[in-house]
Copies of this chain bind each other. A is one copy, B any other.
Amino acid sequence: MNMAAGGVPARRIGIDVGGSTVLGVALDSSGCIAGEVRQPTPRGPNSLSSLVDVIITVAEELGNDSNFGIGVPGLVTREGVLRAAPNLDGVADFEIGRVLGERLGNRVYVDSDATCAAVGEWKLGVAEECDNVLVVTLGTGIGGGIVADGRLARGASGFAGEFGHMVIDPDGPPCPCGRRGCWERFASGSGLARLAQEAAADGRLPTVLRACGGEVEAVRGEYVQDAARAGDIDALTVIDEFASWVALGLANLTNVIDPEMIVLGGGLSKGADLYLDPIRRWYGEHLYQPHLRPVPLIVFAHWGPLAGAVGAALLPGLEPWS
């Protein structure tokens, strides 16, 4: 690896493969962004080899002269095999780490995008200096990563942090995973849309529903956010309900992991101004024994949409990678 004085890698490269964009960043030796490259993610039934080409192009544009890290949207084993990725076409049991490593002549470190985001926030973001951190990415679904006693907890298969499929209501709405009442049915972007549509159908969201031409199915989370920012009390009530579900799951995870800080990331970070206060308030209600512990701080992520790529850049050298 290319080292600067003192053994610190001079430049690190991380790539975040998303459903629509392959985003690469280069970090300089002080952890600042020294370069960003974006390419559209190839789609279609035979797009896998194009995807590999795009990733290599992005790496080379950023100056690939070292090991690099990559975050992918799916279940990744500790050996760098992408077992499944619902948002990438034609990917199943793809040895992405080995394939890229052979093409580039360097080792490629792989983990899920959510785990990479956790690494980014822990090593260079809001959770620097924290030894026990929960990073929860609230997007279409819910993922995340765990730092326990100063180390990333990857799990036996590499699948730790699949928070979204924690069942919190066995009689709740069906989930595409085949079960009912998974946390992400309530507390993700699609959960917010579902709660909003429910409210609209019950007549509890009249202004937003009118703006959507009276069509319940047209009600989306963004419209609720916009209305809430404009002071619509019904929209704020839906946001509050949403926040209570987010907080319930965070309190559950706190019982398991006992973090000092919870970092919220993912697409819903854009609504941080609306969510943060009600999430914190509900978290205080849901937390077990709040009077006997320092209440963990809930914050939104520092890196926003760059967190996955920044964290990916930091995977090489991180302890639990074998």
Q: Give A residues with C-beta under 8 Å from B.
A: 75, 83-84, 131-132, 146, 148-149, 151-171, 177, 179, 248, 251-253, 255-260, 286, 288-289, 292-294, 296, 320
Contacts and interface: CB of A to CB of B under 8 A. Distances in A.
Nearest to A289: B75
Identical subunits present: 2
6 contacts: A146-B257, A148-B155, A160-B256, A166-B166, A167-B248, A256-B257
B84 A289 contact: yes
Say whether chain A's binding surface is mostly helix, strand, loop, or mixed.
loop
Contacts of A165: 255, 288
A151 to B, nearest CB: 6
Nearest to A92: B292
A131 B319 CA distance: 14
B255 A162 contact: yes
B286 A179 contact: yes
Given A160-B148, A166-B252, A167-B286, A257 B179 contact: no
Contacts of A146: 148, 256-257
A296 B160 CA distance: 13
B167 A260 contact: no
Given A148-B148, A177-B288, A258 B160 contact: yes
B320 A149 contact: yes
Contacts of A161: 256, 258
Contact of A259 (B156, B168, B179): B156
